[in-house]
Amino acid sequence: MIPRPFDYHRPADLPEALRLLGQYGDEARLLAGGHSLLPMMKLRFAAPAHLIDMGLLAELRGISEAGTELRIGAMTTEHDLIASALLQQKCPLLVEGARQISDPQVRYRGTIGGDISHADPGNDHPALMLALDASFVLAGPQGERVMPADGYFVGTFQTLLEPGEILREIRIPVPAPGTGYCYAKLKRKTGDYATAAAAVMLRMQAGTVAMVRIAMTNVAPTAFRAAAAEQHLQGKALDDAAINEAARLVMDQCEPGDDLRGDEAYKRAMAGEMVRRALHTALSRAA
Amino acid sequence: MGAKVMVSFTLNGTQADVVVEPRELLIHTLREKCQHTGPHIGCETSHCGACTVDMDGMSVKSCTILTVQAQGSQVKTVEGLAAGGELHALQEAFMQEHALQCGFCTPGMLMRAWRLLQENPDPSEEEIRYWMAGNLCRCTGYQNIVKAVQYAARKLRGEAVETSHPLLEPTAQ
């Protein structure tokens, strides 16, 4: 319950945050919503000497549409995502996903950028980002770079974010009207991380799959995109045989660990079942 | 490391100035420095919501907020719910609908329900259960908490309220 002592910094803007991060290096952690970091600090799994609170950085908050992209500030909370009329209309997968993350109080504080940067395989946004073809704007001392979500998650708690960098913004191509979507999440109870979950985006054309994205949560050391299953479905009618084969291909790609949510075999089977359900639901929503 | 700092925030309408280590959690400041012991601690993994208070228009679990993060904030606890000695509709509702037993989750439940009814004055049963899911209760089984939130919602909307658990049969006049 009691974290180790640390020094607290509350920069007023992004340049000051970057400067502090550069100054304190490995000793510092960024504090966003604080709903992964503080719990780890309270259990002393993490004991940073410096916390850099991003809470005043209004420039890192907000949801807007810019040309063909949706742009979401990294400090935008889950609550903001759910309440966003723009996302409800243009990117309902993200709203459906956010509604399944944790609980109301946590969603008032927890941010999309923190969820992504934490890169816990149990977090839901990594798979949602993969399914949405998102990219991430990383601000560093030398300027900014934009990295695609695909390939960004390299291990448990590991991303391509370099020391000294701050995830500033998430960019999502506006899904074409009529795109089917679903986030199917199996969990033991409200607020739990997934036993297995599947994020799907789907466009149909003349009865066959014109575009499909399938990404998985908590059935491997990282969220992953199920490329083999996507390729299998491309150009096919989405009948039960195709869906079952896609689920089988996803299950082949899973590397779940055993824990209190179940053993490896159960999680693999549930990953397949979540893929089946997500594809069926996405198909019913595709126009 | 960890030198103490002064933090000022508004607590139930009154200025609070506290001197804390940066690592101090808001729940501890509220309970130990401000003597507001209504908010409780039921876990150390941010699940139970017994520590829920309202902060700048959000229900927050004050066990997962640093007091230094509350600088300049408006904080409301269960102690600030009744006005002029009169119970808030939610407090009356929890009493009338038997929505508490041990009372340990109740301050957090009340503060969460208070924010919920600001955002959604007429929630369905399903909405109440979904939007109260960050608060655990060991005693009630939740049923009467749902009824209490519905009772309070009706009262706050200016509608007639009637308890679903009358303590006494109405006596014939």
DSSP code per residue over A207-221: TEEEEEEEEEESSSS
> Quick check: A61 and A21 in contact, CB under 8 A?
no
Strands (E), chain B: 5-11, 14-20, 52-55, 58-61, 74-76
Handedness of CA A13, A17, A18, A23 (dihedral sign): positive
Q: What residues 54-73 of chain A have any CB closer than 8 A to a CB of chain B?
A: 55
* Minimal Cβ distance to A3: which of B23, B116, B133: B23
Quote the CA–CA distance of A75 and A56 in Å, as a whole number: 10
Residue A71 DSSP SS3: strand
Closest CA to A76 of A93, A58, A51: A58
Query: Which pair of tokens denotes residue B129?
Result: 């259960």
Rounded average pLDDT over A145-162? 97
- pLDDT at A22 exceeding the cut of 80: yes
Give the closest-approach CA distance of B81 to chain A in angstroms: 19
Q: What is the DSSP letter of B33?
A: I
Q: Please state, in angstroms and as integers, the Cα–Cα distance from residue A231 to each residue in A39, A94, A234, B14, B125, following that order.
A: 40, 23, 5, 62, 43
- pLDDT at B10 exceeding the cut of 60: yes
Q: Say if the Cβ atoms of A106 and B61 lie within 8 Å.
A: yes
Give the closest-approach CA distance of A151 to chain B in angstroms: 31
Side-chain-side CA neighbours of residue A115 (13 Å)? 29
For residue B167, the model assigns a pLDDT of: 61
- pLDDT at B13 exceeding the cut of 80: yes
For residue B69, the model assigns a pLDDT of: 98
Q: What residues 142-201 of chain A have any CB closer than 8 A to a CB of chain B?
A: 190-191
pLDDT bin (cut points 50, 70, 90) of residue B107 is very high
Residue B53 DSSP SS3: strand
Closest CA to A102 of B35, B144, B59, B18: B59
The angle formed by the CA atoms of residues A27, A29 and A33, to the nearest 5 degrees, is: 165
Interface contact B136, partner A, CB < 8 A: no
Quote the CA–CA distance of A259 and A256 in Å, as a whole number: 9
Tell me the Ramachandran region of residue A163: left when phi exceeds 0, alpha when psi lies from -120 to 50, beta otherwise: beta
- pLDDT at B172 exceeding the cut of 60: no
Place of tokens 């990383």: A138
- pLDDT at B62 exceeding the cut of 60: yes
Quote the CA–CA distance of A256 and A223 in Å, as a whole number: 11
Tell me the Ramachandran region of residue A274: left when phi exceeds 0, alpha when psi lies from -120 to 50, beta otherwise: alpha
Rounded average pLDDT over A5-26? 97
Q: Supply the angle between the helices B143-156 and B106-119 in degrees, to the nearest 10.
A: 50
- pLDDT at B165 exceeding the cut of 80: no
Strands (E), chain A: 7-9, 28-31, 50-53, 63-66, 69-73, 135-140, 143-148, 153-155, 158-159, 166-173, 180-186, 196-205, 208-217, 224-225
For residue B156, the model assigns a pLDDT of: 98
Interface contact B102, partner A, CB < 8 A: no
Residue A256 DSSP SS3: coil
* Minimal Cβ distance to B1: which of A6, A38, A42: A6
pLDDT bin (cut points 50, 70, 90) of residue B1 is confident
Query: Which pair of tokens denotes residue A275?
Result: 């893929």
pTM score of the predicted model? 0.96
For residue B173, the model assigns a pLDDT of: 52
Q: Say if the Cβ atoms of B58 and A79 lie within 8 Å.
A: yes
- pLDDT at B168 exceeding the cut of 80: no
For residue B169, the model assigns a pLDDT of: 63
For residue B16, the model assigns a pLDDT of: 98
CA torsion, ordered A119, A120, A121, A122, to nearest 10 deg: -130
> Quick check: A255 and A220 in contact, CB under 8 A?
yes
Instruction: Say what percent of chain A tops pLDDT 90.
Output: 100
Interface contact B46, partner A, CB < 8 A: yes
Quote the CA–CA distance of B169 and B163 in Å, as a whole number: 12
- pLDDT at A174 exceeding the cut of 60: yes
The bridge status of strand A50-53 relative to strand A28-31 is parallel
Size of interface A-B (CB pairs under 8 A): 89
For residue B170, the model assigns a pLDDT of: 59
Give the closest-approach CA distance of B66 to chain A in angstroms: 9
For residue B127, the model assigns a pLDDT of: 98
For residue B164, the model assigns a pLDDT of: 86
Interface contact A12, partner B, CB < 8 A: no
**Which residues, 6+ apart, have CB-to-CB distance to A185 below 8 Å?**
A100, A124, A194, A196, A197, A217, A274
